[in-house]
A and B are shown apart, each in its own frame.
Chain A
Amino acid sequence: MLTLENVHIYYGHIHAVKGISFEVRKGEITTLIGANGAGKSTTLKAICGIVHPRQGAIYLNGQPVHRLPPHKLVSQGIGYVPEGRRVFPVLTVDENLEMGAYHRTDADGIAQDKARMYELFPALKGRERQLAGSLSGGEQQMLAIARALMSRPQILVMDEPSLGLAPMLVQHVFEIIAELNRQGITILLSEQNARAALKIAHHGVVLETGRIRFMDTAEALRENPVVQHAYLGIA
Chain B
Amino acid sequence: MTKTVILIQTIVGGLGIGSIYALVALGYSMVYRSMGLVNFAHGSIYMIGTYFGIIFYRGMVAGIHLPYWAAFIVGVLLTAILGVLLERLFRPLANLDLMLMLLGTIGVGIMLDNLAIIVWGAEGFAVRSPLPSKPILVGGVSLLPQMLLVIGVGTLLMVGLQTFLSRTKVGKAMRAAAQDREIASAMGIPVNFTNAITFAIGSGLASAAGILAAPIVYVNPSMSAAVGIKGFASAILGGLGSIPGAIVGGLSFGVIEAISAGFISSAYTKGIAFIIMVLVLMVKPSGIVGETTVEKV
Instruction: Point out the residues of chain B lying under 8 angstroms from A82, CB to CB.
Output: 183, 186
User: Does B180 make an interface contact (CB < 8 A)?
Assistant: yes
- Kindly provide the distance from the CB of B67 to the nearest chain A CB, expressed in whole angstroms: 38
Query: Is the beta-carbon distance between B185 and A50 smaller than 8 angstroms?
Result: yes
Main secondary structure of the interface of B (DSSP, over half): helix
CA distance A95 to B166 in the complex (A): 9
Q: Contacts A134-B294, A134-B295 hold; do A71 and B188 have CB atoms under 8 A apart?
A: yes
- Kindly provide the distance from the CB of A151 to the nearest chain B CB, expressed in whole angstroms: 6
Q: Which chain B residues numbered 151 to 183 have a C-beta less than 8 Å away from chain A?
A: 169, 172-173, 175-176, 179-180, 182-183
Q: Contacts A134-B295, A151-B188 hold; do A50 and B180 have CB atoms under 8 A apart?
A: no
Query: Which residue in B175, B187, B292 is a CB contact (below 8 Å) of A102?
Result: B187
Q: Contacts A99-B173, A134-B296 hold; do A90 and B186 have CB atoms under 8 A apart?
A: no
CA distance A172 to B189 in the complex (A): 30
Query: Is the beta-carbon distance between A99 and B189 smaller than 8 angstroms?
Result: yes
A-B contact pairs, 17 of them (CB 8 A): A48-B186, A49-B186, A50-B185, A50-B186, A71-B188, A74-B188, A80-B183, A80-B186, A89-B179, A89-B294, A90-B292, A95-B172, A99-B173, A100-B188, A102-B187, A131-B294, A134-B294
**A27-68 to B contact mask, C-beta < 8 Å, 1/0:** 000000000000000000000111000000000000000000
Query: Is the beta-carbon distance between A71 and B189 smaller than 8 angstroms?
Result: yes
Query: Is the beta-carbon distance between A91 and B175 smaller than 8 angstroms?
Result: yes
Query: Is the beta-carbon distance between A91 and B188 smaller than 8 angstroms?
Result: no
Query: Which residue in A73, A98, A148 is a CB contact (below 8 Å) of B172?
Result: A98
Nearest 6 CB-CB pairings of A with B: A133-B294, A74-B188, A103-B188, A102-B188, A70-B185, A70-B186
CA distance A98 to B166 in the complex (A): 12
Number of interface residues of A (CB under 8 A): 31
User: Does A203 make an interface contact (CB < 8 A)?
Assistant: no
Query: Which residue in B183, B188, B294, B297 is a CB contact (below 8 Å) of A90?
Result: B294
Instruction: Point out the residues of chain A lying under 8 angstroms from B182, CB to CB.
Output: 50, 70
Tell me the nearest residue of chain B to A95, going by C-beta.
B172
* Interface-central residue, B180, B183, B187, by most chain A CB under 10 Å: B187
Query: Which residue in A69, A91, A134, A148 is a CB contact (below 8 Å) of B185?
Result: A69
Query: Which residue in B179, B187, B295 is a CB contact (below 8 Å) of A147?
Result: B187
Q: Contacts A95-B172, A131-B294, A134-B295 hold; do A102 and B189 have CB atoms under 8 A apart?
A: yes
CA distance A98 to B184 in the complex (A): 12
Tell me the nearest residue of chain B to A94, going by C-beta.
B172
User: Does B190 make an interface contact (CB < 8 A)?
Assistant: yes
A/B pair count, beta carbons within 8 Å: 78
Query: Is the beta-carbon distance between B187 and A80 smaller than 8 angstroms?
Result: yes
A residues in contact (CB < 8 Å) with B? 48-50, 69-71, 73-75, 80, 82, 86, 88-91, 95-96, 98-100, 102-103, 130-131, 133-134, 136, 147-148, 151
Given A49-B186, A88-B176, 6 new contacts (CB under 8 A):
A50-B182, A74-B188, A80-B183, A86-B183, A99-B172, A131-B294
Q: Contacts A131-B294, A134-B294 hold; do A91 and B172 have CB atoms under 8 A apart?
A: yes
CA distance A218 to B166 in the complex (A): 46
Instruction: Point out the residues of chain A lying under 8 angstroms from B175, CB to CB.
Output: 88, 90-91, 95
CA distance A89 to B178 in the complex (A): 11
User: Does B206 make an interface contact (CB < 8 A)?
Assistant: no
Instruction: Point out the residues of chain A lying under 8 angstroms from B20, CB to CB.
Output: none
CA distance A131 to B293 in the complex (A): 11
User: Does B289 make an interface contact (CB < 8 A)?
Assistant: no
CA distance A99 to B169 in the complex (A): 8
Q: Which chain B residues numbered 278 to 297 have a C-beta less than 8 Å away from chain A?
A: 292, 294-297
Q: Contacts A82-B183, A91-B175, A91-B176 hold; do A75 and B188 have CB atoms under 8 A apart?
A: yes
Query: Which residue in A50, A69, A91 is a CB contact (below 8 Å) of B179?
Result: A91
- Kindly provide the distance from the CB of B272 to the nearest chain A CB, expressed in whole angstroms: 34
- Kindly provide the distance from the CB of B107 to the nearest chain A CB, expressed in whole angstroms: 28
- Kindly provide the distance from the CB of B175 to the nearest chain A CB, expressed in whole angstroms: 6
- Kindly provide the distance from the CB of A13 to the nearest chain B CB, expressed in whole angstroms: 19
User: Does B197 make an interface contact (CB < 8 A)?
Assistant: no
Query: Is the beta-carbon distance between A99 and B176 smaller than 8 angstroms?
Result: yes
Query: Is the beta-carbon distance between A102 and B173 smaller than 8 angstroms?
Result: yes
CA distance A136 to B172 in the complex (A): 22
Tell me the nearest residue of chain A to B175, going by C-beta.
A91
Q: Which chain B residues numbered 194 to 228 have a C-beta less than 8 Å away from chain A?
A: none
Query: Is the beta-carbon distance between B185 and A71 smaller than 8 angstroms?
Result: yes
CA distance A150 to B181 in the complex (A): 19
- Kindly provide the distance from the CB of A138 to the nearest chain B CB, expressed in whole angstroms: 13
Tell me the nearest residue of chain B to A100, going by C-beta.
B187
Instruction: Point out the residues of chain B lying under 8 angstroms from A103, CB to CB.
Output: 188
Query: Which residue in B169, B187, B297 is a CB contact (below 8 Å) of A134?
Result: B297
CA distance A194 to B186 in the complex (A): 26
CA distance A171 to B183 in the complex (A): 26
* Interface-central residue, A69, A70, A136, by most chain B CB under 10 Å: A70
Query: Which residue in A48, A99, A130, A151 is a CB contact (below 8 Å) of B184?
Result: A99
